[in-house]
């Protein structure tokens, strides 16, 4: 194996003895992009090069204006070029972060549309699938997304089917849910190019093989109830999560499960540390928090979607939970 070369994101020309075999990825960074998602992808590609002993993969890092982009950890990362300087890309990778619902993508939309009509593979890392949905690339297709963003995504892009997997790697529209799932996605892409055996060696070289097996079993659509060990508590929380918009009384939940209200309260205190009523309220308020961040719904609409018939009651409960009113929260988000 050749001596390891320095991984240079923004850099200089990289020598390649097998230029005709090199697969080029174009990474497009948006402001606040997930640093972990980018590094996960690049390190996986670089490890494939090291395992092969040749430059199987290369990459260029671009931005909408050709200027440095600040990442999720506050590091300004220099880029290789403006997206407008890229011609006939084979693989485009969109890397974004928490601001994906608000990022200015005016210049990106026509650029992606131009190549999206052809055979260019377009992948979303971090919240990249949100950017892809905003540009119309995912209409009628499937995407992977972090559980935190599922509520807002579903509200805004009903034509897109959200996968329960950590990543999707088949076809011309790929995506990962966030973070290290980028490793899984790019290991799959490497497998498509060079076979599963080679991809497995790359995973082992990353010390990732055992984690990869665990990642395959992760269900990003699983409710928080799945993390509770007691089956009755888990069943009750699942029922709460399925009735956010039209909440039912804890006594009704207990009756449906087949236990007394008092038994349900004791189990919640033991395994959750709070009452069923309080936990139910917290689930509804967290759903409201996500909707206020991720959707264009008004405050009254968000309250109704989370089971609050009265805007004043919603505002009072929200402020008690988050120390800020929904109006103040939404106004601060808009700044």
Please name which of 111, 91, 103 lies closest in space to residue 128, comparing C-alpha atoms. Answer: 103
Q: Which helix (H) or strand (E) holds 23?
A: strand 23-29
The list of the chain residues with pLDDT below 70 reads 1-20, 213-229, 334-335
| pLDDT score at 222 | 52
Helix (H, G, I), strand (E, B) or coil at 15: coil
Q: Alpha-carbon distance 125 to 80, whole Å?
A: 19
Tell me: the pLDDT tens digits for 170-204? Answer: 999 999 987 789 999 999 999 999 999 999 999 99
Residues 6 or more apart whose Cβ sits within 8 Å of residue 225 = 233, 234, 235, 236, 237, 238, 240, 241
- Interatomic CA distance for residues 99 and 264, integer angstroms: 40
Dihedral of alpha carbons 64, 70, 76, 77, sign: negative
- What φ, ψ does residue 290 adopt, rounded to 5°? -65, -40
Q: Which residues contact 114 (CB under 8 A, 6 or more apart)?
A: none
Region for 214 from its dihedrals, namely left if φ exceeds 0, alpha if ψ lies in -120 to 50, beta otherwise: alpha
Residue 179 neighbours by CB under 8 Å, 6+ apart = 34, 36, 37, 40, 126
DSSP notation for 232-289: HHHHHHHHHHTTSSS---HHHHHHHHTS-HHHHHHHHHHHTSS-HHHHHHHHHHHHHH
Q: Dihedral of CA 166/169/171/177: which sign?
A: positive
**SS3 state of residue 190:** helix
Angle, helix 311-322 to helix 326-334, in steps of 10 degrees: 70
CATH 3.30.1450.10 fits 224-334, yes or no: no
Structural domain boundaries in the chain: 19-215, 224-334
Pairing of strands 57-63, 81-82: parallel
Domain 19-215 - what CATH class?
alpha beta
Q: Parallel, antiparallel, or unpaired: how do β-strands 69-70 and 76-77 relate? A: antiparallel
Q: What is the pLDDT of residues 34-56, one digit of tens each?
A: 999 999 999 999 999 999 999 99
Angle between helices 276-294 and 326-334 (to 10 degrees): 30
> To 10 degrees, what angle do helices 261-271 and 276-294 make?
60
């Amino acid at each position: 194996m050749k001596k390891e070369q320095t991984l240079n994101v923004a850099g200089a020309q990289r020598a390649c003895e097998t230029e005709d075999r090199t697969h080029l990825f174009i990474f497009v960074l948006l402001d606040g992009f997930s640093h972990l998602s980018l590094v996960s992808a690049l390190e996986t590609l670089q490890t494939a090069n090291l395992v092969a002993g040749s430059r199987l993969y290369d990459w260029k890092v671009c931005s909408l204006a050709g200027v440095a982009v600040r990442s999720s950890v506050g590091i300004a990362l220099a880029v290789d070029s403006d997206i407008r300087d890229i011609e006939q890309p084979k693989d485009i990778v969109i890397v974004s972060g928490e601001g994906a619902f608000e990022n200015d993508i005016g210049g990106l939309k026509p650029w992606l549309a131009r190549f999206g009509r052809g055979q260019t593979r377009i992948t979303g890392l971090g919240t990249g699938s949100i950017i892809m949905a905003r540009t119309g690339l995912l209409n009628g297709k499937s995407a992977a997304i972090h559980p935190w963003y599922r509520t807002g995504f579903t509200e805004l892009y009903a034509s897109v089917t959200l996968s329960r997997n950590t990543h999707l790697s088949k076809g011309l529209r790929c995506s990962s849910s966030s973070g290290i799932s980028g490793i899984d996605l790019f290991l799959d892409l490497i497998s498509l190019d060079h076979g599963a055996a080679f991809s497995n060696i790359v995973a082992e070289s990353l010390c990732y093989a055992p984690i990869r097996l665990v990642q395959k079993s992760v269900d990003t659509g699983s409710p928080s109830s799945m993390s509770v060990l007691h089956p009755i508590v888990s069943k009750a929380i699942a029922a709460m999560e399925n009735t956010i918009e039209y909440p039912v009384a804890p006594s009704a939940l207990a009756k449906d499960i087949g236990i007394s209200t008092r038994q349900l309260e004791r189990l919640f205190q033991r395994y959750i540390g709070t009452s069923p009523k309080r936990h139910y309220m917290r689930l509804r308020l967290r759903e409201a928090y996500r909707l206020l961040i991720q959707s264009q719904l008004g405050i009254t609409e968000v309250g109704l979607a989370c089971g609050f018939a009265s805007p004043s009651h919603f505002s009072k409960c929200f402020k008690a939970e988050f120390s800020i009113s929904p109006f103040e929260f939404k106004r601060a988000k808009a700044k």
